[in-house]
Amino acid sequence: MLERMRFRVRRALLLEVGRHHWWSAATPAEIAAELNGLLRDPEVRAIIAADGGQTAFGYLDLIDIEAIRADPKPILGYSDISLLHLVLYARTGLVGFHADMAVPGFGEHWQAAAATRQAELEKLYTRLLTDTEVIGALPASSSWECWRDGRAEGRLIGGVINRIALVQATRFAVPLEWFDGAVLFWEEMGGHTSHVWSYLQVMRHCGILDRISGMVVGVPREIAGLDSPEASPTLSEIVLDVLGDRDIPVLGNVELGHAGPNLPMPVGIRVGLDTQQRTLSLLEPPVRPHTMTEPVS
């Protein structure tokens, strides 16, 4: 799929079959060493995660921040990779793409998508990674739902909801003032509806919900309770319950994250949200002109 999009592909060494360390392919130090090597390599113009996992917290303090500042390049992924987007954005301003990964994305969800949707995504991802023009409206679908009317414009910040809540408890937290006027996006996989409610309460307590101007919620996946409406609230009811009387427009059931195939969410760029019209538009190009030469992955 990536080669069809005219990217040259290099497989990182930690993708070798048989590598493992507990629930990961390697130790945090080994993963950081590989990532830093890719960040320092001028031929590498984008880094796509193979999968998510449970490892990024172990090497956040080992990433070569100066290499990113010297040669910023897109990093693509969701799930645990949400941490990289949030932390690197907070520390360097790097725009990370909460977007499809190699194996569950390009290798699975894209293959199962209808041909028209696959072509639409292929064109979108190619433009995002190689074009310095503004993208505009992301391709919507019939699944999008208006949970609260309104319009908003601001920088796009978010990821997996549990990772947002957890990283804000560390020294790598996104500065609270960066959420002023932001459009918060989030998604979740696994756990229970009560966990989602609790993560939203964490963001309420730390002041994020008092600062944002809009919210985009991804399609939920494997969240216990959503299949038992008589015993548990819906996801929209949970969101509106925690928001209370805050006048924040909410767009729900958007294809981002684990439910895939993903619409890419470039962390840090300005977006326009109109929940009544069910539109989400990228108002800035997510890549800088000097970072894009011949397309290479």
Question: Residue type at 46?
Answer: A
- Band of pLDDT at residue 17, cut at 50, 70 and 90: confident
- Which tens digit of pLDDT belongs to each residue from 277-287? 999 999 999 88
Helix 193-205 and helix 235-243, axial crossing angle in degrees, nearest 10: 20
CA–CA dist 78, 97 (Å, integer)? 8
Give domain status of residue 99, yes or no. no
- Band of pLDDT at residue 297, cut at 50, 70 and 90: very low
pTM over 0.75: yes
Query: Considering only CA atoms, which of 99, 59, 104 is closest in space to residue 76?
Result: 99
Q: Output DSSP code: residue 253.
A: E
Residue 16 is predicted with a pLDDT of: 86
Pairing of strands 75-77, 214-218: unpaired
Domain span at 173 = 136-282
Residue 289 is predicted with a pLDDT of: 59
Give domain status of residue 154, yes or no. yes
- Which region holds residue 6: left if phi is over 0, alpha if psi is between -120 and 50, else beta? left
Residue 149 maps to which CATH number? Answer: 3.50.30.60
- Which tens digit of pLDDT belongs to each residue from 177-215? 999 999 999 999 999 999 999 999 999 999 999 999 999
- Band of pLDDT at residue 18, cut at 50, 70 and 90: confident
Structure tokens at 23: 């629930």
Give domain status of residue 259, yes or no. yes
Count: domains in the chain: 1
Give domain status of residue 2, yes or no. no
Structure tokens at 67: 């290499």
Give domain status of residue 294, yes or no. no
Mean pLDDT of 126-130: 91
Give domain status of residue 198, yes or no. yes
Structural contact between residues 217 and 185, judged by C-beta atoms closer than 8 angstroms: yes
Give domain status of residue 272, yes or no. yes
Give domain status of residue 159, yes or no. yes
